[in-house]
A and B are shown apart, each in its own frame.
Chain A
């Protein structure tokens, strides 16, 4: 199985900050990398597919980048509703695997 490792595991930031979460794959996943946002007690919400493509309705302050083994999710100016846990997921092959999550907390 392809292992997905996110860093940091947790992050404290303030409203208006620019933050970046990274995701590393144990082998190349090309651009087959997706990002999800999960708030406590809720289902994950799909944000970005194929490394850099925003799902319809996702605010443009979210962006994704990377290819191969190294990827990043950037939020350009944090809003109160962005504090959540973020997961990356590879889809180059089954079993599809997720990172362990990055919890973004209010400073």
Chain B
């Protein structure tokens, strides 16, 4: 059974870069789409982006090119960097494995990590 676990700082200062890592177990990241989704407290879900194992990426334009997703196949991990953060970036961040066959869907999710942007 594939499992994902987010890690990283829970507090980031405004204008700095948020950096999170997702460790994957039970599966190789040399396949599938590896994604990030976030959820502001008490609100709905927002797609951030994905990286396909081949290296192609897709990001939500609403983030205005601030997001970068990378894979580290040697560690079976992938990461998210979000630059120039503001209070509006405060959210629970989820990593997820997605599949595209037939219909792109987020099949497996990490437990989530709350990141607060505050000085």
A51 to B60, CA, bound (A): 23
Instruction: Please judge, given known A-B contacts A95-B62, A100-B44, whether A50 and B108 are in contact too, CB under 8 Å.
Output: no
Chain B residue contacts of A89, Cβ below 8 A? 45, 105-106
Q: Does A67 contact B (CB under 8 A)?
A: no
Shortest Cβ distance from B46 into A: residue: A98
Q: How large is the interface on A (under 10, 10 to 19, 20 to 34, 35 or more residues)?
A: 20 to 34
The binding surface of chain B is classed by DSSP as mixed
Interface, chain B (partner A; CB < 8 A): 44-47, 58, 60-62, 94, 102-112
Q: A50-B102, A96-B104 are in contact. List 5 more A-B contacts (CB 8 A).
A: A33-B103, A42-B111, A43-B110, A46-B109, A53-B102
Q: Which residues of A contact B (CB under 8 A)?
A: 1, 31-34, 36, 42-46, 49-50, 53, 55, 87, 89, 91, 94-101
Chosen A-B contacts, 14 in total, with CB atoms closer than 8 Å, are A1-B62, A32-B103, A34-B105, A34-B106, A43-B112, A44-B94, A44-B106, A49-B103, A87-B45, A95-B47, A95-B61, A96-B104, A98-B44, A101-B44
